[in-house]
Amino acid sequence: MGLEFNDSAKKELERIKARYPERQAALLPALYLAQREFGYVSDEAIKYLAQVLELPKSRIYGVASFYTMFNKKPVGKYFIQVCANISCAMMGADGLFDYLSSKLGIKEGETTKDGKYTLCKVECLGACGEAPMMQVNEKYYGPLTREKVDKILSELK
C-alpha cells in the first residue's frame, strides 16, 4: 500500500466514519484530515481515501476539485490565504496582499524557495467582522494592519 494515515489520523478517520455513517457525508471531513496530514490532496491521497471510504476515486477527485480550500499541489509550511472579498477589499485587503507579496518575494499562488510560505487570495472566509483578514494554516488573523502582518510573520519563523 502507498500513502497511509498514521495511527492517530486513522483513529480520527474512524471517528469521522462513525459520525457520518453515510460515506458521502464523511468525505469532506476526511479530505480535511488528508490535507492536514499530507499537506495537500495528492492523487495518492485520493486513491487512499477511495479505499478507506469505499467511494469511487472520481467522486473524491470531483469534490476535492470543487472546493478551493483543498490544495491539489504542495504548499509551504505556512499557507497564507488573504481574503479578497468585498468586506476585506473595502478595508484594504489588496494593499495588504501586495505588502505580503513584496515582503515574501512571491506572487499570488507561489511558494517561497525555502518552502516556508505559500501566498494566495481567496474568497470570503466568513470572518468579515475581522476585515481585512487572512488565514494562516488553520488560524485566522484580523483585523490586519501592516504592523500586525510583520508581527505575525516574525512569530511564524
Report angle CA 62, 85, 70 to the nearest 5 degrees: 25
Give the single-character DSSP code of 111: B
Can residue 69 be called a binding residue for ligand FES (CB under 6 A)? no
Closer to ligand FES by CB, 85 or 112: give it.
85
Closer to ligand FES by CB, 30 or 119: give it.
119
In DSSP terms, 73 is beta-bridged to: none
How are beta strands 134-136 and 78-83 bridged, if at all? antiparallel
Evaluated on CA atoms 140, 143, 149, 152, the torsion sign reads negative
Give the integer Cα–Cα distance in Å for 95 and 146.
Answer: 9
Give the integer Cα–Cα distance in Å for 24 and 15.
Answer: 15
Measured from the CB of residue 62, what is the shortest distance to ligand FES in angstroms? Answer: 26
The contact mask relative to ligand FES for 75-114 (x = CB under 6 A, - = no) is --------x-xxxx--------------------------
Measured from the CB of residue 130, what is the shortest distance to ligand FES in angstroms? Answer: 7
Measured from the CB of residue 143, what is the shortest distance to ligand FES in angstroms? Answer: 10
Q: Reduce the DSSP state of residue 94 to 3 states and report it.
A: helix
The contact mask relative to ligand FES for 108-127 (x = CB under 6 A, - = no) is ----------------xxxx
Closer to ligand FES by CB, 33 or 131: give it.
131
Give the interface with ligand FES as residue ranges (CB under 6 A): 83, 85-88, 124-128, 131, 133
